[in-house]
Amino acid sequence: MQNFSLYFELGWQHILNWQAYDHVLFLVALCGIYLLPDYKKVLILITAFTIGHSITLALSVLNVIIISTKWIEFLIPVTIVITAAINIARKRNFNKKINLSYILALLFGLIHGLGFSNYLKSLLGKSNNIVVELLAFNIGLEVGQILIVLIVLLVSFIVVSIFRKQKREWQLFLSSAIFGVALMMAIQRFPGF
C-alpha cells in the first residue's frame, strides 16, 4: 500500500508540476470552451483523454510501444495547437460536433500518455511488478487533471457570469492565447531544431 500512495502522489504532482505545463495547456484548451453547467460533457472528454493516455502509458512502460522522446515532445504541443484551432474555428453552437471532440480527446490522450511514460519509466527502473504503481500513478494523474478542469470551469464561469464577458469572446481569447503558446512550443521542439 505504501507504493500505491507514493505513485498516486507522484501522479498528481507530475500533472500539477510547472514542468508539465504542456499537459495543463492541453486540458485548458480541451475544457476552456465549457462552463460549469457543461460538466457532463467535460467529464466525458476527460474520461476519453484518460483512457487514451492510460493505454499508451501502460504499453510504453511495458516496452510494447517505443517511440522517440523527441517526436513525442513535439507531438504534444501539436495536439494543443489542433485543439485550440478547432475551438477558434467552431461556430457558436457546436453540440453536433461534440463526438469529434471525444474522439480527438481519446487520440490525443494516446500521445500524451507516451509523454507521461518517460517520467514513469525513470521512476520504476527495473521493477517487475508495476501494475499497482501504474494504476496509482494513473489515478494520481486523473485527480490532478480533475483539479485543473475544475479551476478552468470556475474561471470560465467567473469571466462569463460575473464579469459579463460574452462566452464566445472568452473562448476565442483563451483558445487564441493557448494556440500561440503551443505553436511556439511545437516549433521549438520540432526534431532537428
Question: Tens digits of per-residue pLDDT, 145-174?
Answer: 999 999 999 999 999 999 999 999 999 999
Neighbours of 96 (CB within 10 A): 8
Q: Is the pLDDT of residue 193 over 70?
A: no
Distinct helix (H) and strand (E) counts, the chain: 7, 0
- Structural domain containing residue 128: 2-189
Query: Which one of 58-62, 97-101, 184-188 scores highest in mean pLDDT?
Result: 184-188
Answering whether pTM is above 0.85, one says: yes
pLDDT tens for each residue of 87-114: 999 876 555 555 788 999 999 999 999 9
DSSP state of 161: I
Within 10 Å of residue 66's Cβ, how many Cβ atoms?
9
Task: Write down the pLDDT at residue 97.
Answer: 54
Cβ pair 5, 132 in contact under 8 A: no
Which letter does DSSP use for residue 88 in this model? Answer: H
Total number of domains in the chain? 1
